Structure 1
Amino acid sequence: MGKLPKTLRTALVLSLVSGCFASTSTVSAASGTTFTKTSYQTTDALNLRSSNSTSSKKLLTIPKTTKVTSSYRKGSWYKLSYKGKTGYVTGSYLKKIESGTSFSKTSYKTTDALSLRSAATTSSTRLLTIPKGAGVQSSFKSGNWYKVTYANKTGYVSGSYLKKVTTPAKTTVYTTTDRLNFRSSPSTSGKVLTTIPSGTAVNSLAVKSNWHTVQYQGKTGYVMGTYLKKGTSVPASTTGNVDYSGSKMYVLIPSGNSVALRASASTLSGQIARLGRGTPVVVTNSRHQTKGFVAVRTASGQSGYVDATYLTLFQPAPSNRPLLVLDPGHGGHDAGAVRYGVAERDIVLAVTKQVAERLSGKVDVTMSRYTNDYYPSLGERSALANSHATTAFVSVHINASTSTQAYGAETFYYKGASSINLARNVQQRLVSYAGMRDRSVHYANYAVIRGTKAPSILAELGFLSNSADRAKLTNASYQSRYAQAIADGILASL
């Protein structure tokens, strides 16, 4: 065969070269996959390379958690553009961003046999069929398609065949061990909605950083867990439920006046007799109270009812003399401060009774409660004092704190020079007689002293939350010292 002309040889070479390049381009296109533009997020710092190979040139590094889009891939390499550069990244570090709505994980039950599909569309691959009545959970949806996992397969189901399963909130019952602020938010700066009494059972829905979400009186709010004890019980009263029948009491009324002995427990009932100051009676009903009517029997055998306001355990003098109303704090369901099974309610009653015994030969005395199974409200305590020509009112309490380092005695007043003088006299002796740290005398807007017309104070003997104070408060010898300090402080103020 002869030689071809030079021009023909050149044309043939160009044709062959062109054919080779055309063939290569076609293979390249065929080896990749085009798909709908999809958004991804990088799960690590990711190299953008000039081609789909780790040996190709690195154009730049895409930071972790960067959002990118792609509509073409070769094998596991995705073609995309970033900061004006177009190249390839490995799909191992891409996470598909699904368009939809995330929400709290919720339980559902299928209302019919339901197809689990690979995507949120009826045209996508069906992975399996979920039986009717099966339970599933979801925390993401796209339109009306819910993403769920069933039998180790994750996909989408139509929300038209899902019914939400309502699970009752899991609650734990706690009892308050002290008066506790019920707040609008889990912070001491949250608005105080109300104050929950000590010894009250509440339902805790959740707890975070020692703040409990609780339900109380139909409302949901927050309280500090420091003053909550799991369970519904409070420390048992040291005296239990007291049968008060047979107790001897005396009529406490100004000299020359009298109270009615009535046929029934009502001011509308007929009067059997009039009882003067100091008249002794025997209680015939079992429950003690200082409000309402008490069933009694006189020395002459007459039985009837007397207003409890005008009865006292301590015999008054024939003629008028200073009258002290003593108020042992809390009582009944309200245990007050509680630490290590020791309740404020019990200690203050023991101390206050001793105060009354020390005063009874020198002044007239009555108390807001005589037993631990009875709780007069704060208003009832003040009302008792206001019903008499009261010389002074003393409320006895024990403190507690979240800090075990807080300790010592302190005394509070609301108003008036006489109240301040009484507070100082009692405080000075609590410090001296019982060796308590002096936390001084302070003004306080406490309801029980604010509502009482006579000079009034509230004495905090010490901190039940402090081990040294608690050792004294629970010791009979020190309880006697506290009682003597209060009695002497009162007498010094008259």
Structure 2
Amino acid sequence: MNQLKRPAHARREITTADSAAGSLKNATNPKDCGGELSGEPIRAFRRKGAASLTLAAGIGALVLAMPGGEAHADNSYTAKVHTDSLNVRSTAGPDTPIVGSLRSGDVVTVTDELLGWLKVENASTSGWVAGYYLKKTNGSPASAVISSSSVKTSAQTQAASSGSSTVSEGSKALVTANSVIIRSGPGKKYELLGSANRKDAVTVLENQNGWSRIKTSYGAYGWVSSQYLQGGGAAKAKAAVQKQKAIHVSTAAAQSPKADTSEIKSGSLQGKLIVLDPGHGGNDPGTVGTTYGMVEQELNLQTALYVRDYLVSRGARVELTRTGSGERPSLASRAQLSGSLGADAFVSIHYNSSLSASSNGTIVCFYSESKDLGLARAIEAPLKDGTGIRNNGLAFGNFKVIRENSVPSVLLELGFLSNPSDEATASSADYQRNAAKAIADGLQLYFSK
């Protein structure tokens, strides 16, 4: 189907580091929520590879080590540019000087890798580029097959200086950097699953060669560099608070009555102001489908526009946190918009991914029992009946855009792009319209009381 092709955009870059922020789309349980996590992000990337998958709360690889490619004796290899225009920078990082550019189809030699940035050269230019838009000449994702450069970003240096000795297995730890990339294995060659953010409490399950396998307070798993974790009493206290919050809210959700879709028509959206948040955007694509390469940020926006149309047709007023693929509002600005406008509800739209390709279905994530649960229940009911993708019900979601929102808020995961069936279904305009109608119905049901 023609919608399965990933569109190209002009001049793309990825802002990614093992200390950069992203969305944790890496839950192994389909009940885990995805989307952006707490913290102020510089977006990290999750590119899904066919070799592993796939959460996010969940999740392939931006820099996924895969067999194949034209490797040379010195471990360099050739790769091709797969975007209209790509900046070449003097050093790895999004804010370093631009020294040249590459165009779609240009072939380069990759000689080094640092946190998702690849050092490249050809006859016309040399420098560092965002690795997400390179593929090996055999079509597989560009991989880091050599040791990383000794160059460190300022975020790395900060995280390293704040880190302590490796936290022992079974202990609690706090993330010390602004955000830390979570990977599927103990090393940079493994796929990116998402990120954990500063002061997130995690449990260290295993340590291996400077990497720690962790479990977050909301049930997502993965590996992070041990230098970004710090144990001690503060970590234990924070973990206890986060766990108790998740248990309390999840229990409340389980005990709450199901919404009755027969009451949808008794509600009215006339004059209601709804803020729609198409997740990700700009140089943060969100999850990328493992079978057809669907890009989450584009699906989020397409679906949000359908929701807007349904809401407007029923008399609602709608504001979007972004209206184009090139926009990437901060999480704080997304969360604050609804309060500043005096909105009646906030809906963040995402698609999910998992380390298990069998994970599938929709999830409605909420944070506050008192503020958000009623809206979550109202939207869950029509989603369950009207999309053709399995419904996984409600889940606690510790996400900044809903946690720090002053109005009733939910974050929706509308299918797993790591699941071939979900991805194929979600790629169709029919599914997106059906999901959009279900969301509009849910909002109307919410305002029936």
TM-score by length of 2: 0.43
Identify which of structures 1 and 2 has the higher relative contact order when contacts are C-alpha pairs closer than 8 Å and 6+ apart.
2
The structure with more helix, counted as a fraction of residues: 2
Q: Which has the higher Rg, Structure 1 or Structure 2?
A: 1
